Amino acid sequence: MTRDAVTTVIKALLSEKDFLNDLDEKIGDGDHGLNMARGATAAADALEELEDDDPKKILQAVGNAVIMNVGGSAGSLYGAGLLAAAEVLDENSAPDAPTLEKVFGAIVDEIQQRGQATQGDKTMLDVLIPIHETFKAENCAGKNFETLLTEARDAARDGLEITKTLIATKGRAAALKKKSVGFEDPGAASALIIFRALCGYWKDSFRA
Ligand code: ADP
Ligand code: MG
């Protein structure tokens, strides 16, 4: 995870602030865009202070900035996920399928352990779990990284689409019970925005 990749995600989250707030307005308290934008700004400040380009240190700095500056359930879950992802990286880590399998595995495990949610609960995990599945070794045979990125992005988009059909059982939206059906989950939407930005960055960097 390079500095430029993180910067691409920061920009995407800042530009989707109103969209994410609107989604959260429908089944939550309308602050998810604001929370993610606050996290993005804190991450940008942390990156500026960090001189090192070690991917592990970058993810640690960003994770800590998110935990310290973002309220709401998503902030602590994303922050803890980033710190867990940092643990599987070292200074030589490069974006490839085995690395992303480890990174998304660590993120999913950490978020599941903290939030006690799983696939089907209408949360960010409905996007993060399908991304992780795509990079598992049994799915990767014979496919190049670019193809896998496209597959993972499509799986993430389908995961978000499925959240529309689900009843929320975790977080604020759970209070709405059946009335939560028909709306996308805001955390699943932010997870797709983040992953789409990363895919765009990685694909561009291969072509450069
Ligand atoms: P809050 O709900 O505290 O206002 P946000 O609006 O920033 O926080 O984030 C809401 C998102 O957090 C939800 O859309 C959902 O994806 C995610 N979320 C909430 N609770 C959980 C949980 N227990 N496990 C995983 N994700 C969760
Ligand atoms: Mg909210």
- Write out the chain's pLDDT in tens, 208 residues: 589 999 999 999 999 999 999 999 999 999 999 999 999 999 999 999 999 999 999 999 999 999 999 988 999 999 999 999 999 998 888 899 999 999 999 999 999 999 999 999 999 999 999 999 999 999 999 999 999 999 999 999 999 999 999 999 999 999 999 999 999 999 999 999 999 999 999 998 877 6
User: If phi over 0 gives left and psi between -120 and 50 gives alpha, with beta otherwise, what is residue 2?
Assistant: beta
170 lines ligand 1 (CB under 6 A): yes
Q: Where are the domains of the chain?
A: 2-207
CATH superfamily of 2-207: DhaL domain (1.25.40.340)
In the structure, ligand 2 is a single-atom ion and the residues with CB under 5 Å from it are: 24, 28-29, 31-32
Q: How many whole angstroms separate alpha carbon 30 and alpha carbon 119?
A: 23
Supply the pTM of this predicted model.
Answer: 0.97
Alpha carbon 116 to chain centroid, angstroms: 17
Residue 116 CA: nearest ligand 1 atom is 23
User: Closest by alpha carbon to 59, among 87, 101, 97?
Assistant: 87
Alpha helices in 164-185 (DSSP H): none
Cβ of 69 below 6 Å from ligand 1: no
Tokens representing residue 205 in the block:
């960097």
